[in-house]
Amino acid sequence: MARITRRKVLGGSVAAAGAIAAAFLPVGAEPRAAAVETKTQRQWAMVIDMRRCDGCRKCTKACQTTHHLPTSFEWIKVDEVVTKAGTRYFMPLPCMQCENAPCVRVCPVGASFHTSEGLVLVDQDRCIGCRMCMAACPYGRRYFNDSDPPAFANPFGHPTPEFPVPQQKGTVGKCMFCVHYTEEGKLPACVQVCNMLALYVGDLVADVATNGKETVRLSSFLQDNDAWRYKEELDTGPRVYYITGHGQDLEF
Amino acid sequence: MDPRTLREYADRATGNVGRAGPLWWLVATVLAAFVAFGVYAYSVQVRQGHSVTGVTHTVFWGFYVVNFVFFIGISYGGAITSAILRLTHARWRAPISRIAEGTALVTLLIGAASVLIDVGRPDRIPYLFLYAQPGSPITWDWVAITTYLVGTVIFFLLPLIPDVATYGETAQPTGPRGALYRALSFGWRGTPAQERALLRGIGIMAVLIIPLAISVHSVLAWLFAVTVQPGWHSTIFAPYFVLAAMLSGVATVILVIAAARRAYGLHEFITEKHFRYLTYLLIALDAAYLYFMFSEYLTDGYMQEQPLGHMLQLYLVGAYAPWFWSFAVGGLLLPIALVAVTGRAFVARSVAASLLVVVGMWAKRFLIVILPGVAQPLMPWEVYKPTWVELGITLGLVAAIPLGLMILFAIFPVMSVHEMEEVEGLGELIPLPARRLVPGGSAAPRGRGMGWRPRVVGAAVALAAVAAVAVVGGSRIPVAQGFFAPRVSVQVPPASLAEGPHERMPGTPTTVDTGAATGGDALPMAAAVAVEPSDDITRGYVVSAHVTKDTKPVGQVEVSFYDVIDLLGSRQMLIGSRLTDGQGEASVTYLPAELGHHDLVVRAAEADAVVAEARSSFDARVAAPRTYSREQLPLERFSSGLPLVAAGVLVVVWALFAFAFVGTARRVASGAGDASGPIHASRGVAAKARLEK
C-alpha cells in the first residue's frame, strides 16, 4: 500500500479547497443581463400623477387580465392613503424597477435579473421559490404563486421572463412594465386603460414620457411638478416617480 | 471509577446497541406515525402549492422558516456543549458528550429538511449549486450549513472510532452493522500512535466547531438582517441569534440527556451534577439573552419611530402580546425562578426549566420571522394563520428528533466508553499533560521533525495567502474586474448621442416651411414654421410660427409647439405654448434631448378649437445634456465582495476538515502496527466480553 504522507493529504486538501474557492469567484451578480438583447436604447421609467388618480383600479384589473392572474395578485396595487390633514389620495404601486434592486441582489440562483433596458424580470424557469426576494423588497411588490395559476394556453409557447403567462406554481412573479407590449411598440396594459391619464410610461434616455394622450419632456415634467420617488432614502434607485396630489381639478 | 463500575458503564453504554426491545418498537412506531403524517401533509403542499399554508403575499415566510432557525439553533447547542467541555478538559463531560454530539447531528439534519420544505420548487434545489450567486444570503446559508454538517459528522465520527472498534471486536455483529463498525473503526487497536492521531483529530474539530457554529448562526441571522425590513435590519442580530441558539441548544441537551438517562438507565453515570452544571450554563445564557432583548427593545422603542413603534405595540400590548409575554415570562424568567429556588428535585426543575426555554425560544423565533410581514406600514394588518399542513409538518419534524436519536443510539453506544477511560486515566493511557509538552509523544520516537501544530498553522496561513492572492490577483482577470470597478450594466448610448452641447456648431438647419399643408383648406387660418439656431447655440433652436388669416397676421392666438417623437408609437411632445403678438408671431426656444432629425408640429388654437396647423423638420446639431445616469452606490460591489473574504476562510476550514478526518483515519489505519508502547485495550469492554464468556 502506498504510504499516504501528510504532504499528500494536505496537497489534496488544498486542491479540493481551491476548487471550492473557484466556485465562489465572482462571476457577476447578474449573469442573465448579458443574455437579453435589446433593440432600442430605452431606459424605462414610469411617472404616476396622483393628482389624477381616482382609485378606480382599472389598472389592476387590466394587469390581471393581461397576465392571467388571480384577483389577489395586484402587480399594480392601488393603495388608499388618508393623511393627517383629512385628505385622501390613491397611490398606485407597480414594481419600482429599482436600479439597485435588493431582490436581484439576494436571489440565490440569479432568477431575478436586470435587462439592459433597466427592467427587473423574473425567470420563472430558474426561480426556486425561496421568497428571499420578497423579504428583500422594501415595497412589497412581489407575489408568490402559492397555487396553480388560472389555466391559459400561451399562444407563444412556453412562458418567458418577458411574457410570464401563465405564471408557474411555486415561483415568484411581479410587474414587468409589460415588456411584452413595449417591445411591440404598445403601451403597458395599465397605462392603456387609465382613463384619468395618471400613468405615464417613459424613457429616461430620450427624456420623454407619455400617458397615451399627452407626451411630456420627462425631466422638466418631473422638475416642474416636484416629483419624488417612494422610499428614495433607501438608495434603491426606483424607476417610478410620483407627483403628489389628491384628485385636484387640473383642467385637462 | 473502579474496573467493575467501568464495566457496568460500558454495559449501559452499549446496552441498547443492536437490541431493540418491544418498548423501543412501540415508541418508534408512534413517532414514525407522526413523521408519516408530516410527510403526507408535505405531499399535499407539493401537489396544491403553498396555498394550503398560512403564508400570504405580505407574510411570505411562516412556520417552516421558524422551524429552520429553531432546529439549526438547537444543533448549535449540542455541538458547542461538547466542544467547549472537551477543550476545557471537563472530566464530567465523558457520559454526555456522545449524546450532545448526536443531538447536534440529528437536529441539524431536521433543520436542513425544514428549510427545504419551505421552498416553492423543491425540484429545483440543485439550482442552488448550479447557478449559485455569491452575493445571496441564501448561498451563504447553504454553504455554511453544508460546511457545518460535514464538521458535525466528523465531530461525531472521530470520537466513535475506539468504541466501534472495541464493540465490534467483542460483540462480533454480523451483516451490515458489522461492516459499518469495521469501516468506522479504521483498524483501531489502541496503539500509542493511534491514540495520538485520534486526540489530534478531535482537538482540531473541537476548536473548529465553535467558530463554525457561530458562523452558521450568524449567517442565519444575516438572512434577515441584510434586508431593510423593520425589526430585522439590525446589527445586533448575528450575536443575538448565536445566543438564542446556544440557549435553546443547551436546554435541548438537558432534555435529551434526561430522556436518555431514563430510557437507558444511566442514573449511575449521568447524575444530578451533570444537570447542575448544564443548568447553570443555561441560566447564564438566559440572563445574557434577557440583556440582549432589553437592549433591543430599548433602542427600538425609545423614540418610537415608525414602524418600530407599531411593532413594539404589537408585541407588548397588541395582537401578538400573548406570544410575547408567554415567551418573556414563561420562557425566560420562570426558568430562572425554577432553578433559583433551593430545594429538592433539582433534576425535575432543571428539565421543566429547559422545556420552558425550548418552547419559549420557538415562540420568539415565530415573532421574529412573521412580524415584518404583519407590520408593514401602509397596508392593513395581516394576520398569519397557520394551517393543519404547517402544524402537521412541524409535529412530524419534532417527532423525527427522538426517532432519529433512538435509531442513532441503537447503532452506536449512547455514552463514550473510550472517553470515560481517558478521563478516568484507566487503560494505561499516556497522561494528557505529558503529550502536550512533548509534541512527538513520550513513548514513540518519531521520524518527522515538525510537530503537527506548526504544520496545521503553516498550512492554514498558506491557504489564506492563496485565497488572498486569488482575490487580489482576480482583479487582473476580466471576470473579476467588475468586483473592483463600479459595474455599469446600463447600455451606453452611441457616441453621437452621448454628449450634450458638445460644440458650438450653429450648422445650417434645414427649415422646411410646409405652411398650412395639412388640412389647410378646412382650417380658418394658416400657419408657417421656421427653425433657426438660437443666438446662444447652447440654448438650442428658436422655433417660430407665423399665424395669418387671409394673409393678415392674427394676434392673441395660442400656438402650441410639438416635437414628434417615437415612444411606443408616434407621439407629439409638447415643447411649449405661446400667444401670438401683433405681427402674428410666436416662438419658443427648444433644446432637444436627441441629436438628429426632428419633425415639428405647430398648432394654433382659439377657444380650444384648432384654427391652424403646420409641420416642419430640422436637423438638430446640439442637444441637451443627458439628464439620466445610472444610480451608483458608494460601494458598488460591497454586498457580494465582502462575503468573498469569508470564502477565503471557508477554504481553510475545508482543508482543516480534510486534515482532521482523512488525516486521522489514515494515521489510525497506519498506526495499528505501532509497537512502541503498550496497547490500550478498552478494559471496560474487555471485562464485559470476559464476563459474557
**Candidate from A107, A147, A206 with C-beta closest to B51:** A147
Provide the grid cell at B638: 460591497
| CA of A20 vs chain B CAs: smallest distance (Å) | 7
CATH number for the domain that contains residue A199: 3.30.70.20
Domain assignment present for A248: no
- The pLDDT value given to residue A7: 62
How far apart, in whole angstroms, are the C-alpha atoms of residue B640 and residue B625?
33
List of E strands, A115-207 = 120-122, 143-144, 172-173, 199-203
Tell me which of A143-147, A211-215, B685-689 is least confident: B685-689
| Residue corresponding to grid cell 440583556 | B291
| Alpha-helix residue ranges (DSSP H) falling in A140-228 | 179-182, 189-193, 218-224
Q: Which of B23-27, B34-38, B205-209 is the most confident on average?
A: B34-38
Provide the grid cell at B689: 466480553
Domain assignment present for A53: yes
Do residues B72 and B111 make contact, with C-beta atoms less than 8 angstroms apart?
yes
| Alpha-helix residue ranges (DSSP H) falling in B49-174 | 63-87, 94-118, 127-130, 137-157, 161-171
Cα distances (Å, whole numbers) of residue B476 to B219, B232, B436, B472, B481? 30, 38, 46, 8, 7
| Residue corresponding to grid cell 394563520 | B385
Interval A129-171: pLDDT, tens: 999 999 999 999 999 999 988 888 888 888 999 999 899 999 9
Cα distances (Å, whole numbers) of residue B614 to B569, B600, B610? 21, 8, 11
Domain assignment present for A202: yes
**Candidate from B133, B462, B626 with C-beta closest to A109:** B133
Interval A161-208: pLDDT, tens: 999 989 999 999 999 999 999 989 999 999 999 999 999 999 999 999
B126 phi/psi in degrees, rounded to 5: -60, -20
Residue B601 has pLDDT above 50, yes or no: yes
**Candidate from A21, A106, A126 with C-beta closest to B467:** A21
Residue B435 has pLDDT above 80, yes or no: no
Do residues B242 and B57 make contact, with C-beta atoms less than 8 angstroms apart?
no
How far apart, in whole angstroms, are the C-alpha atoms of residue B244 and residue B413?
30
Q: What is the mean pLDDT of residues B428-454?
A: 37
| Residue corresponding to grid cell 433591543 | B296
pLDDT category of residue B328 using cuts at 50, 70 and 90: very high
Do residues A124 and A171 make contact, with C-beta atoms less than 8 angstroms apart?
yes
Mutate to test the interface with A, among B44, B119, B124 (most CBs of A within 10 A): B124
Phi-psi region of B228 (alpha: psi -120 to 50; beta: other; left: phi over 0): alpha
Residue of B nearest to A233 (CA): B228
A222 phi/psi in degrees, rounded to 5: -70, -40
Does any CB of chain A come closer than 8 Å to the CB of residue B690?
Answer: no
How far apart, in whole angstroms, are the C-alpha atoms of residue B92 and residue B246?
20
Interval B169-198: pLDDT, tens: 777 777 888 889 888 988 888 888 888 899
Residue of A nearest to B47 (CA): A147
Side chain identity at A246, as an amino acid letter? H
Residue of B nearest to A219 (CA): B627
Do residues A51 and A246 make contact, with C-beta atoms less than 8 angstroms apart?
yes
| CA of A105 vs chain B CAs: smallest distance (Å) | 6
Structural domain of A212: 30-243
- The pLDDT value given to residue B222: 93
Q: What is the mean pLDDT of residues B578-594?
A: 91
Q: What is the mean pLDDT of residues B336-360?
A: 91
Interval B490-549: pLDDT, tens: 333 333 433 444 333 333 343 444 443 444 456 788 888 889 888 888 888 999 999 988
**Candidate from B121, B229, B462 with C-beta closest to A171:** B121
pLDDT category of residue B433 using cuts at 50, 70 and 90: very low
Residues of B within 8 A of A171 (CB-CB) are 120-121
How far apart, in whole angstroms, are the C-alpha atoms of residue B651 and residue B640?
17
Which letter does DSSP use for residue A216 in this model? E
pLDDT category of residue B432 using cuts at 50, 70 and 90: very low
Cα distances (Å, whole numbers) of residue B613 to A252, B521, B528, B553? 21, 11, 8, 15
Residue B554 half-sphere exposure, CB side, CA atoms within 13 Å?
A: 19
| CA of B374 vs chain A CAs: smallest distance (Å) | 12
The answer to whether B479 contacts A27, with C-beta atoms less than 8 Å apart, is yes
**Candidate from B60, B493, B631 with C-beta closest to A41:** B493
- The pLDDT value given to residue B11: 78
Provide the grid cell at B392: 402537521
Residue B418 has pLDDT above 60, yes or no: yes
**Candidate from B376, B593, B637 with C-beta closest to A207:** B593
How far apart, in whole angstroms, are the C-alpha atoms of residue A175 and residue A179?
9
Does any CB of chain A come closer than 8 Å to the CB of residue B633?
Answer: yes
Q: Which of A14-23, A210-219, B376-385, B521-530 is the most confident on average?
A: A210-219
**Of B515, B532, B511, whose CA–CA distance to B612 is shortest?**
B515
pLDDT category of residue B310 using cuts at 50, 70 and 90: confident
How far apart, in whole angstroms, are the C-alpha atoms of residue B396 and residue B38?
4
pLDDT category of residue A249 using cuts at 50, 70 and 90: low
Side chain identity at A12, as an amino acid letter? G
Q: What is the mean pLDDT of residues B311-337?
A: 89
| Residue corresponding to grid cell 437579453 | A36
Which letter does DSSP use for residue A44 in this model? E
Provide the grid cell at B479: 471576470
Mutate to test the interface with A, among B121, B601, B670 (most CBs of A within 10 A): B121
| Alpha-helix residue ranges (DSSP H) falling in B158-236 | 161-171, 175-185, 192-225
Count of domains for chain A = 1
Give the DSSP H/E element, type plus range, for residue B10.
Answer: helix B3-13
Report CA Rg, chain B. Answer: 38
- The pLDDT value given to residue B495: 37
Q: Would you list the DSSP string of B279-330?
A: HHHHHHHHHHHHHHHHHHHHHHHSS--TTHHHHHHHHHTSTTHHHHHIIIII
Please state whether beta strands A199-203 and A208-210 pair in parallel, antiparallel, or not at all (unpaired): antiparallel
Domain assignment present for A8: no
Interval A80-123: pLDDT, tens: 988 888 888 999 999 999 999 999 999 999 999 999 999 999 99
| CA of A162 vs chain B CAs: smallest distance (Å) | 17
Side chain identity at B78, as an amino acid letter? G
The answer to whether B133 contacts A216, with C-beta atoms less than 8 Å apart, is no
Domain assignment present for A18: no
Q: Classify B483 as helix, strand or coil.
A: helix
Does any CB of chain A come closer than 8 Å to the CB of residue B655?
Answer: yes
Q: Hey, which residues does A122 pair with through a beta bridge?
A: A112
- The pLDDT value given to residue B674: 76
- The pLDDT value given to residue B512: 41
Side chain identity at B41, as an amino acid letter? A
**Of B153, B208, B98, B173, whose CA–CA distance to B652 is shortest?**
B208
Distance of CA B51 to the CA centre of its chain: 25
Q: Could you check whether the bond before residue B307 is cis, i.e. omega within 30 degrees of 0?
A: yes
The answer to whether A182 contacts B568, with C-beta atoms less than 8 Å apart, is yes
Strand arrangement, sheet containing A44-49:
A240-243, A44-49, A199-203, A208-210, A215-217, B570-579, B558-566, B596-606, B609-620
How far apart, in whole angstroms, are the C-alpha atoms of residue B96 and residue B258?
10
Do residues A132 and A109 make contact, with C-beta atoms less than 8 angstroms apart?
no
Domain assignment present for A68: yes
Which letter does DSSP use for residue A228 in this model? B
Please state whether beta strands A240-243 and A44-49 pair in parallel, antiparallel, or not at all (unpaired): parallel
Interval B636-675: pLDDT, tens: 778 777 777 878 888 888 999 998 999 999 988 888 877 7
Q: What is the mean pLDDT of residues B148-156?
A: 93
- The pLDDT value given to residue A41: 73
A223 phi/psi in degrees, rounded to 5: -65, -45
Give the DSSP H/E element, type plus range, for residue A141.
Answer: none
- Give the ipTM of the model, two decimals please: 0.83
Residue of B nearest to A216 (CA): B573
Q: Sketch the domain layout of chain B as residue ranges.
A: 3-472+638-692, 526-620
Residue A210 has pLDDT above 70, yes or no: yes
**Of B93, B96, B77, whose CA–CA distance to B289 is shortest?**
B77
| CA of B342 vs chain A CAs: smallest distance (Å) | 47
Residues 36-55 of B with CB under 8 A from A: 48-51, 53, 55
Cα distances (Å, whole numbers) of residue B172 to B94, B163, B166, B182? 25, 13, 10, 10
**Candidate from B133, B462, B647 with C-beta closest to A21:** B647
Q: Which fold has domain B3-472+638-692?
A: Formate dehydrogenase/DMSO reductase fold (1.20.1630)
The answer to whether A106 contacts B51, with C-beta atoms less than 8 Å apart, is no
Give the DSSP H/E element, type plus range, for residue A215.
Answer: strand A215-217
Do residues B561 and B577 make contact, with C-beta atoms less than 8 angstroms apart?
yes
- The pLDDT value given to residue B237: 93
B426 phi/psi in degrees, rounded to 5: -90, 175
Do residues A218 and A208 make contact, with C-beta atoms less than 8 angstroms apart?
yes
pLDDT category of residue B308 using cuts at 50, 70 and 90: confident
Average pLDDT, chain B: 81
CATH code linked to domain B526-620:
2.60.40.10
Residues of A within 8 A of B573 (CB-CB) are 208, 210, 215-217
Count Cβ atoms within 10 A of the Cβ of residue A68 and give its class: 0-12 exposed, 13-18 middle, 19 or more buried. Answer: middle
Interval A23-72: pLDDT, tens: 544 444 444 444 444 444 799 999 999 999 999 999 999 999 999 999 99
Q: Which of B293-307, B370-384, B456-470 is the most confident on average?
A: B293-307
